[in-house]
Amino acid sequence: MKTRRLGKTGYDVSEIGLGCWQLGGDFGPVGDETASEILDAANDAGVTFWDTADVYGGGLSESRIGAHEKAAGVHVATKLGRGSGLFPDNYSKDGVRASLVASAERLGVASLDLAQLHCVPTEVLRDGQIFGWMDELKAEGLVRHWGASVETIKEGLICLEQPGCATLQIIFNLFRQDAAKALLPKAAERDVGIIVRLPLASGLLSGKYDKATRFDESDHRSYNADGQAFSVGETFSGIPFERGVELVGELRGLAPEALPMSQFALRWILDHPQVSTIIAGVSKPEQLADNVAASGQKSLFPALMGQLSEWYEKDVKPEVRGGI
């Protein structure tokens, strides 16, 4: 597994990381045994960056990670700001501290490796007070580093102005390419580590679904398919599901024949050198090995990267809902 430096944290992390929203049961039920097998598989494969949040399964994802023996060098990032009564307009330094203390307890650590603001409203980012609290909580030792997970490029640019911001988590994939030009160069300039979420557009880009696919009612791909519960951009990257299936059909015609679709999608992201790590979400242990294999694949040819960019601008971008 190849590693990359995670911005100002200085951590050396695997370029394929692990998204742990699934361990909270928001992609359909995941039992204790499967959760443990996924974390074992991550340890075995050298996946050393794990992403979770206080709200995933109401703390279940963090508790499962906390209870699991981690291989040396694993860094666990969590998030705050959507739970603990903070969202949408009740943010305070004490509230943020209490949320982080609870996360640290569930994760079984005294100090968090990385705490990320979790899609807090744009006005809260604009106001900026919350960044000062994060600097202070870092100085207190509760967090080693802090960063932000954002929904739009505009929000990302606000965070990049903060000297204390070590990492930025963004949606970036073949269905959401704008950050390549609008954000990544500036992040690199500021030495802010880029963490990529939704690399497979909630699984769509793996190519395994068809228009008849249905998801469990406990799965956000069922209850938030059109943004009924939270930002539509967080589910299928904001692309209407059936249109997404058609677009994946178009992509198949562009992908190198020997490359599985999932690895093609991950390789495209890795071919942006400003990306530090991709937190691919996994609901079955066998998916992990497939995702990790993308790290060993050859880079895509520049001509193909150009074609994919043109295809995105013309066929995909007009379909994205929820803001870019």
Chain positions contacting ligand NAP, by CB under 6 A: 19-22, 27, 51, 79, 118-119, 149, 169, 197-203, 206, 208, 234, 262, 279-284, 287, 290-291
Please state the closest distance from residue 92 (CB atom) to ligand NAP, in A: 21
What tokens were used for 137? 């909580």
Q: Which residues contact 145 (CB under 8 A, 6 or more apart)?
A: 8, 9, 113, 114, 115, 138, 166, 167
Nearer to ligand NAP, 173 or 303 (CB): 173
Nearer to ligand NAP, 119 or 137 (CB): 119
Paired residues of 170 in beta bridges: 196
Nearer to ligand NAP, 82 or 138 (CB): 82
| Three-point CA angle 31, 34, 35, nearest 5° | 80
Nearer to ligand NAP, 104 or 200 (CB): 200
Please state the closest distance from residue 118 (CB atom) to ligand NAP, in A: 5
Please state the closest distance from residue 174 (CB atom) to ligand NAP, in A: 11
Please state the closest distance from residue 95 (CB atom) to ligand NAP, in A: 19
Tell me if 294 sits within 8 A of 259, measured CB to CB.
no
Nearer to ligand NAP, 17 or 138 (CB): 17
Please state the closest distance from residue 29 (CB atom) to ligand NAP, in A: 11
What tokens were used for 149? 């997970």
Q: Which residues of 192-207 are buried (b: 16+ CB within 10 A; e: fewer)?
A: bbbbbbbbbbbbbbbb
Nearer to ligand NAP, 79 or 97 (CB): 79
Nearer to ligand NAP, 177 or 291 (CB): 291
Please state the closest distance from residue 160 (CB atom) to ligand NAP, in A: 17
From the list 22, 20, 68, 53, the residue with the least C-alpha distance to 279 is 20
Please state the closest distance from residue 280 (CB atom) to ligand NAP, in A: 5
Please state the closest distance from residue 41 (CB atom) to ligand NAP, in A: 12
Nearer to ligand NAP, 152 or 206 (CB): 206
Nearest residue to ligand NAP, scored by beta-carbon proximity: 281
